[in-house]
Amino acid sequence: MSKILLPVACSVLIAAAAIAQTRTVEITDAWARATPGTATNGAAYLTIESPTADRLTGVSTPVAKQAELHRMTLADGIMTMRPLAAIDLPAGQPVTLKPGALHIMLVGLSAPLRAGQTFPLMLRLENGGTREITVAVEKPGAMRPEGHTGAGMHMPTQKHH
Ligand SMILES: [Cu+2]
């Protein structure tokens, strides 16, 4: 049996690899919070899913001097933010950047982010090249991309911290 099974297993692997190559990294629900008048820093969030294991290694946008990958953690009752060199993207698993967790920090905004605006954001992937997406600005203090509710693609979100 094993002499028959082995070539079959190989052809399945080849077929799977061919499918993976035609699929691209999917980025959904890209949003940012509106910033108060005097704030020069903002945060952006999104959901990213790669068909193959990859890493998000950098971000940039024309609306801020610098964009950084950050993780917010709660330790001993204190929220701290730490810059990350990269965010791991496990194959086929969506990774969600959201308030209180992983986020994109926009440092040195050239102008306040106003609800209803959009801005471009470039994502650099270790294997997947560079992707440009559009980020929608939501209300100050928003916990999720309000503009997309009812689109039918939402997973129920019970917790946001
Ligand atoms: Cu941050």
Host domain of residue 132: 24-145
In a domain, 13, yes or no: no
Domain containing residue 87: CATH number = 2.60.40.1890
- Copy the structure tokens of residue 85: 């060199």
In a domain, 138, yes or no: yes
CA of 25 to the centre of ligand 1 (A): 24
Give pLDDT, residue 38: 87
In a domain, 151, yes or no: no
CA of 80 to the centre of ligand 1 (A): 8
Convert the pLDDT of each residue in 64-109 to its tens digit.
Answer: 999 999 999 988 899 899 999 999 999 999 999 999 999 999 999 9
Q: Look at residue 154 and tell me whether its pLDDT is greater than 90.
A: no
CA of 21 to the centre of ligand 1 (A): 33
In a domain, 62, yes or no: yes
In a domain, 15, yes or no: no
In a domain, 3, yes or no: no
In a domain, 16, yes or no: no
Compute the C-alpha angle 78/115/107, nearest 5°.
50
Residues 6+ apart with CB under 8 A from 139: 33, 34, 115, 146
CA of 56 to the centre of ligand 1 (A): 16
Structural domains in the chain (count): 1
Q: Look at residue 5 and tell me whether its pLDDT is greater than 80.
A: no
Contact 99, 45 (CB under 8 A): yes
Q: Which residues surround ligand 1, an ion (CB under 5 A)?
A: 70, 81, 105
CA of 45 to the centre of ligand 1 (A): 11
Question: What's the predicted TM-score (pTM) here?
Answer: 0.77
Report the 3 state secondary structure along the chain. CHHHHHHHHHHHHHHHHHHHHHCCCEEEEEEEECCCCCCCEEEEEEEEECCCCEEEEEEECCCEEEEEEEEEEEECCEEEEEEECCEEECCCCCEECCCCCEEEEEEEECCCCCCCCEEEEEEEECCCEEEEEEEEEECCCCCCCHHHCCCCCCCCCCCCC
- Copy the structure tokens of residue 113: 């982010």
In a domain, 55, yes or no: yes
Contact 83, 143 (CB under 8 A): no
CA of 60 to the centre of ligand 1 (A): 14
Give pLDDT, residue 159: 46
